[in-house]
């Protein structure tokens, strides 16, 4: 299987050193575009690759770049989203700590395509040691003339700064992230205007996930067509998946788009721990509706297949749960997360997540009232599509998905059912 993103992972961090990175083919793509390509040609190549955003929404990257106006009174920016806080996801962490220059090179190429001299990596504050890795890599790249002014003797200037967040999931949402970078609370902005038109400090801004930008050097070196050919017709290239939960070998895996989910779980990850039976899999991070074992048999790891089964590829966080797991408990855990992370700006999300949690609290004690399962479903429905930003949907979708697929785990939390069940024992 061809690797695009993880070719240097075996070096266990040695590629943080620029010499190792260069020896293994690094900075060739940046050199190539500066010598041979116009900014428009770079954007065309990325369009050809059919690369889609790896941060969750899956928006076509080349198209996003082409929305940025050529001329702009205000400076343009490339902002890398390294907030990585979707539960179940830890891929950007390894992309940055094992191969920081690959990200910097991808960002510099994006900055060249958009003509953006000053650019930021917004990284979650907890990744403090990775900030140090990135800053060292930036200093090295500057020293060698791959970043800074007059890159490789041209008049292209590109600076990259690392900006730490401070513990707020909502700052992964691109407009909240921009507010946070401007030194404010992380409340999302109204869209439109989209960041590509009015973004950071009012300038046109491209926000891309770490994994999206890290794929760019390979695309330039090998061509957009070659990248696309690695995956399926509609989902090009490869994708990283963080597999966690009840598998024998949890970890980060890079596989071609279209890879069978079954193989990822049973071959790459060595199957279910302790020989237990599979109960369910969350395919794309905590925001996404859950799969049953039957869904897993049918699913391939690409946007279309996962969507056709009623969920989403999201951030690529694959959470595997064995037969011992109580899906009500998992749902309550998820609701706790979204209640905690709701930024409080709009009522459906702020109040809705609190209500959901309140109902769960009585169900946890097996004191649910008749109708509580429908009440949960209903409350989720009142958040979905009615909130100011996509966090509301992210809170609602997994609740509805869990109730739909694992209703008995909820019903047994209703007091009168519980009394009947224990009486029958």
Partner 1 sequence: MFSPENEKKIDEYISHYPVKRSAILPALHLAQIEHGYVTDEDVQYLARRLDMRVNEVEEVVTFYSMYSRKPIGQYKLQVCRTLSCNLAGCDKITEQINHKLGIKVNETTPDGRFTLQEVECLGYCDLAPVLQVNFDYYEQITPERTEEIIEKLK
Ligand X SMILES: Cc1cc2nc3c(=O)[nH]c(=O)nc-3n(C[C@H](O)[C@H](O)[C@H](O)COP(=O)(O)O)c2cc1C
**Residues 268, 247: Cα–Cα separation, whole Å:** 10
Q: Is 321 in the site for ligand SF4 (CB under 6 A)?
A: no
- Report the nearest approach of ligand SF4 to the CB of residue 122 (Å): 17
Q: Is 394 in the site for ligand SF4 (CB under 6 A)?
A: no
**Residue 342 interaction partner, one of ligand X, partner 1, ligand SF4, none, beta carbon < 5-8 Å per kind:** ligand SF4
Question: What are the distances in angstroms from CA 131 to CA 49, 66, 124?
Answer: 30, 30, 9
* 183 vs 192 by CB, closer to partner 1: 183
Q: Is 90 in the site for partner 1 (CB under 8 A)?
A: yes
Cβ proximity of 398 and 282 under 8 Å: yes
CA dihedral 87, 89, 93, 95 (to 10 degrees): -160
- What 3-state class would DSSP assign to 216? helix
Given phi > 0 = left and psi -120 to 50 = alpha, else beta, which region is 311?
beta
Q: Is 178 in the site for ligand SF4 (CB under 6 A)?
A: no
* 226 vs 390 by CB, closer to partner 1: 390
Compute the radius of gyration of the chain from its Cα atoms. Answer: 22
Q: Of these, 181, 301, 359, 395, which contacts partner 1 (CB under 8 A)?
A: 181
Residue number, nearest CB to ligand SF4: 349
State the DSSP string of 221-274: HH-HHHHHHHS-SSS-SEEEEEEEESBSS-EEEEEETTEEHHHIIIIIT-SBGG
Q: How many residues bind ligand SF4 (CB under 6 A)?
A: 14
Tokens linked to 138: 């930036």
* 63 vs 152 by CB, closer to ligand X: 63
321 pairs with which residues across the strands? 280
Cβ proximity of 133 and 100 under 8 Å: yes
**Residue 319 interaction partner, one of ligand X, ligand SF4, partner 1, none, beta carbon < 5-8 Å per kind:** partner 1
Q: Which class for 171: exposed (0-12), middle (13-18), buried (19 or more C-beta within 10 A)?
A: buried
Q: Is 85 in the site for ligand SF4 (CB under 6 A)?
A: no
Where does this chain touch ligand SF4 (CB under 6 A) — which range of 159-167, 195-203, 269-277, 344-352? 344-352
**Residue 257 interaction partner, one of ligand SF4, ligand X, partner 1, none, beta carbon < 5-8 Å per kind:** none
State the DSSP string of 107-145: HHHHHHHHT-SEEEEEE-TT-HHHHHHHHHHHHHHHHTT
Could you list the residues that contact ligand X (CB under 6 A)? 53-57, 59, 81, 83-86, 169-170, 172-174, 207-209, 212, 389-391, 394
Q: Is 129 in the site for partner 1 (CB under 8 A)?
A: yes
Q: Is 128 in the site for partner 1 (CB under 8 A)?
A: yes
Q: Is 313 in the site for partner 1 (CB under 8 A)?
A: no
- Residues of this chain that bind partner 1 (CB under 8 A): 75, 84-90, 92-93, 120, 124-129, 161, 163-169, 180-186, 201, 242-246, 250-252, 282, 286, 317, 319, 321, 325, 329-330, 333-334, 336-337, 340-341, 343
């Amino acid at each position: 299987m061809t690797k695009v993103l993880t070719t240097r992972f075996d070096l266990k961090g040695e590629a943080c050193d620029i010499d190792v990175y260069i020896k293994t083919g690094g900075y060739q793509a940046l050199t190539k575009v500066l010598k041979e390509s116009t900014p428009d040609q770079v954007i065309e190549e990325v369009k050809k690759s059919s690369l889609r955003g790896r941060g969750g929404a899956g928006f076509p990257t080349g198209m996003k770049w082409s929305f940025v106006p050529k001329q702009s009174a205000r400076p343009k920016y490339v902002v890398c989203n390294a907030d990585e806080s979707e539960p179940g996801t830890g891929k950007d962490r390894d992309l940055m700590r094992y191969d920081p220059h690959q990200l910097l090179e991808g960002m510099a190429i994006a900055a060249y395509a958009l003509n953006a001299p000053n650019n930021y990596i917004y990284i979650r504050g907890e990744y403090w040691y990775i900030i140090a890795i990135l800053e060292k890599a930036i200093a090295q790249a500057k020293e060698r003339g791959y970043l800074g002014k007059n890159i490789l003797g041209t008049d292209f200037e590109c600076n990259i700064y690392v900006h730490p967040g401070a513990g707020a999931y909502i700052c992964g949402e691109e407009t909240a992230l921009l507010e946070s970078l401007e030194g404010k609370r992380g409340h999302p902005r109204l869209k439109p205007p989209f960041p590509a038109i009015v973004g950071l400090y009012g300038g046109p801004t491209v926000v891309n996930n770490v994994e999206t930008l890290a794929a760019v050097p390979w695309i330039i070196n090998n061509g957009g067509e070659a990248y696309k050919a690695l995956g399926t017709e509609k989902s090009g290239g490869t994708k990283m998946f963080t597999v966690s939960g009840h598998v024998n070998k949890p970890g980060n895996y890079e596989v071609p788009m279209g890879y069978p989910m079954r193989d990822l779980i049973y071959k790459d990850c060595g199957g279910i721990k302790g020989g237990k039976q599979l109960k369910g899999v969350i395919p794309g991070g905590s925001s996404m509706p859950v799969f049953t074992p039957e869904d897993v048999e049918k699913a391939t790891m690409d946007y279309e297949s996962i969507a056709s089964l009623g969920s989403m590829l999201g951030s690529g966080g694959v959470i595997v749960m064995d037969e011992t797991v109580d899906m009500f408990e998992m749902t309550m855990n998820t609701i706790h997360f979204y209640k905690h992370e709701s930024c409080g700006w709009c009522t459906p999300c702020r109040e809705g997540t609190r209500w959901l949690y309140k109902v769960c609290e009585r169900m946890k004690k097996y004191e649910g009232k008749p109708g509580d399962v429908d009440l949960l479903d209903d409350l989720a429905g009142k958040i979905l599509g009615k909130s100011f930003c996509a966090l509301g949907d992210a809170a609602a979708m997994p609740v509805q998905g869990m109730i739909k697929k694992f209703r008995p785990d909820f019903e047994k939390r209703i007091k009168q059912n519980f009394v009947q069940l224990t009486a029958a024992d």
